Chain A
């Protein structure tokens, strides 16, 4: 393989196609296949320039047309498999220049690692072979500052990587705008746990309810729902819920083009995400785990009544103030008679004296005395874009529904806290 490519073009290809190999999952892999998992596959011919990488959780394929006018000139077709991190660093540090990637094959491949292929019955040996070196050179052609650099990286045998077929038999679920996916993630991404051994509270569920598409996340005691605006949905073909680990969905959001539509398909425990030039395959938990994520119908069909509409800054001010003493729970006393809200926090362990702050001139619909999680409410206010926040409560007072006045896409539910420290307050 022999390719000349603009640094910016290669950088863009790597930012998308190498995302799996550059992830922590891949870079910290210590399995016998680690060398290949940490590598990217670059294939170039007169039609396309393709960068691919993959881990057990995610595989990515990014392809662009090989056009000289776009800065890609394929002198000789071929394929290389090179260590991703080193190749990425070299590209990044090469500055705005033209890069030359050239494969020099070894007369005899060298075995760099021998591993047992445990999946085969006969335990045949699988070897990782170095088939050559990839010579890398840079040429900067600025008038006053001409520089040139050379380096080389090992090239492993591309045939040792399994060919990924991107969802030919998969069932299309839905298609939305790329920016909507990014928005959805930024709206609900603050809720999931960093790690959940049951695998659903560190993930984002995508569910369909009443012909609307929702992204949902929960940590068990709160739930954030993001309703994708109808005009941004190209189509919903299936109501099957999907569950994607937040960390993987973040990587997807990082590589997609926000101006293009993004399509989600599902097949045999795998989710396929496609955009023009970009194909991804994500691991999906099995059905039992997907079903563990509660149906959002439970929340959406529950009747909530308006409690108060408040200025976001004012509510935030109250919450931040009392969080000095207790960021996990505070007593919210709504008095309709004088239209005031008093937020009071007491602390466990006798460290602090109780703290309280009052807001008045509110338009309350009823009296209420509720203990809510201050930290959870602060989190919700951070993503609610509206100036005015609506707080709604159900008949049993067990939760609170937080919504932006002009933004009905984000619906945030928090459960009340039972804390007997507030009994006598």
Chain B
């Protein structure tokens, strides 16, 4: 399709495209945080329960129990915000579904199975705490953790397919044949799936750890808080170096698969060799203001040689370039920068453990630890901005523009306004509910403190008190 035709289509529905994109961005940006918890939190809760059962450790058991209560709230909110996204696929992007629903629907169907398993076993796990005996209860949580991972793979498969569409044959504007395996395991899925699943574990681990780091900063240096921090922090910190490796190879793959997106990520204007790496900086009208320029580094990163050729933005017509390159680049830098900080934080803790068998005592560690959850969430959101804005103007890379996919039904500005208000209320309510839970627990623990490293005698305090 020529640029002109696309331009006409774009202007005819331009009214819907921007609000539709804004709505998709805000609802997805909100849901993805809950989706991270849905994917990774069960595993962390199970880890705590495992330690509790294995070592007869009351603190770990109490954490597992309380975390599963948090999980119950987050899963419920995640279930409904996920439903919003399912509806929006049709309500905002009927053009996409009309043309490619038969292709990208399949991974969603697979995801549906895991969503079922997740919902069913979450209920058994959450409401079985009293009557299901120890290890059987623990085992009832395993399907949640597994289906979280497989469900995430299925959904990311769809996003990967939009970046690297394939696995189907189109004749005269209609899909005539589909190859499900190629759709599911598309070229981008190889790096997007591990990248997102690791991100989910990092977001969840660092966020939970951040909560307890805040408590420790406030002087609650007890076993309960150190445990809460460690059980969540250790898996997240262990996965962080892996994430940086996966991210690095993902960026290299994108430089081949979607060179224009990569050019926006790295401020490559003209295709050339000896391409410098820009750290920060704002690109306006082709000029880069501010930022640090490191000669040849981008070529080195892409092709392991300063002579490696990198494709630039000018290789395609202006209409085919992603808008707001500065946003894409700065988000890319933010993601990597925050990831690096999280890596250093994990190394610090690892060093301290190696030398002194304890967590760092320095306040800076706990300040950064308290902020690590927010940092991980910001990094993940920035990554989504890079991949989604970087794909524009396409919704299905080089096959369908976002403007062609957008709804012609009208009223998107209205729904966008409502969604922003509704989600603001929903987000606030979720945080307030969780804070109220934490306050309740804190009050109870203050009355009946968990004695550090004391052997457990008799029934647990709470039951005795009751």
Say if A and B assemble together: no
Residues on B facing A (Cβ under 8 Å) = none
